[in-house]
Structures are given as structure tokens and as C-alpha cells.
Amino acid sequence: MRPRLAFRHTPGTGPTIIFLPGYASDMEGTKAVALERWARDTGRAFLRFDYGGCGASEGTFEEQSFADWRDDALAMIDEVAQGPVVLVGSSMGGWIMLSAAKLRPERVVGCVGIAPAPDFTDWGFSTDEKMRLLQEGQIERANPYGPAPTVYTSRFWQSGEATRLMFGEIPVDCPVRLVQGQRDPDVPWHRAGRLAELLRSADVQTWLVKNGDHRLSRDADIALIVRAVEDVLR
């Protein structure tokens, strides 16, 4: 049984826009809050939430897997949102976004990936780190965004490896916009092009921000993300 999840639902018109945070992030991040403000100002339905073990949700972080967090997103689609949804996924949230769109094609009518990181359990870890995950059960990395180190567990890593998407055509048919910074130290920007190539949808665009970092949280970045959401809502 999954932990009880914390969420903030703003009623409104049109498809519900659901924000999916990145790894070890939560719904209080700059992008999530800014998008909620825009949605409220324009009368659109919006939903942000915390995965199990993250933020204000119940559960222990180290006990969660990628599939658990994907299922949390599916629960928000199935049990909280009504009707069609547009998914906005940041970093790992972009991977969850595509996994959910693949599993709920009748509900997901648009996707916006912000520095999306599908399959990062494959390319985002060195061979030494993968061995340590298997042998020791977890590893820690220095966190450039906060004082506490970032913890990765073998449970999360193995679940991610079993749920990879970029081995062939990705059966997502809705409009997709990928917003990617070219100075992103975490997700190589050329991966966005490869992702666009693998998506089955004919309506896929990759928007590159030459001086953009991984977070894409500046005012100009957020304005671009809003444009991307508006674009898939047309």
C-alpha cells in the first residue's frame, strides 16, 4: 500500500495540468509554484503533489522506487484529476511523465518535459557507482542544490533500470514539448534530440535554451515553460 500523498489541487477549466517534480524534489519548487500561479490567474485546473517519501507526503524516502513514484503519478491522474490531463515533468519527472503517458493514453493529452531525464539510471551513473549500488545498497552524492547529500538506493536504481524507455519507439502520441538547457550539467542537451526522435507522436518540438542550466527556474525560463504548456493546450 502506497503512503498517503500530499497534493494541492486548483480547480479550473480545461485539461488539468499536473506537475511532476524531479528526483528528491517536491511540489514547493520554483517552477511548480510559478505554474500554479499562472494557472490560477488564467482559470486553468492545476495539480501539484509530492511523491511518497518526499516533501509533505508520508513514507520513507529510501524505501521508494522509480515504479512507486510512477504509480503515485498515476494515482493523481486516476483519483484526483478529472478528465484529460497535461503532464509537466521536470528532470526525473520527465521520465515519469512519459511512463504515465504511455500507460494512460486516453487521459494524457499533452506533455511538457523540462530537462527530461528518462533512463538516467543507465547513463547518469558510472560503472563504479552501479557496482556500489548493487554491493552496498545505496550511494551518496554531493548535492549542488542543497546542504544534504543526495541519496540513491539500489531499490530505486534497479526499478529504474527495469522501467527504461529509450530502447526503441516510445508509444506516446499526444503533443510533446521538450525544454532543455544547453548548459545543463546533469542532463546532456543532445539527449533531448534523441528523445524527440524516439517519441511516436508527430507533434514533438525540442526547445533549446543556450544559456539554460538544469533547473530552468529563471523568469525567462518559466515564461518559456508556460509557452510550452500553452502550446500543447491548443
Residues tagged active-site: 91, 184, 214
Cα distances from 124 to residues 14, 130, 168, 190, 228, in angstroms, run 36, 10, 19, 14, 26
- Phi then psi for residue 152, to 5 deg, are -125, 135
| Measured distance CA(143)–CA(224) in Å, rounded | 26
Which amino acid type is present at position 51?
Y
Residue 207 near residue 178, CB atoms below 8 Å? yes
* Helices 154-161, 127-136: crossing angle, 10 deg rounding: 120
Give me 183's grid cell: 548548459
Give me 196's grid cell: 524527440
| Measured distance CA(170)–CA(61) in Å, rounded | 29
Q: In degrees to the nearest 10, what's the CA dihedral of 155, 118, 105, 84?
A: 100
For residue 87, the cross-strand partners are 18, 111
Residue 165 near residue 123, CB atoms below 8 Å? no
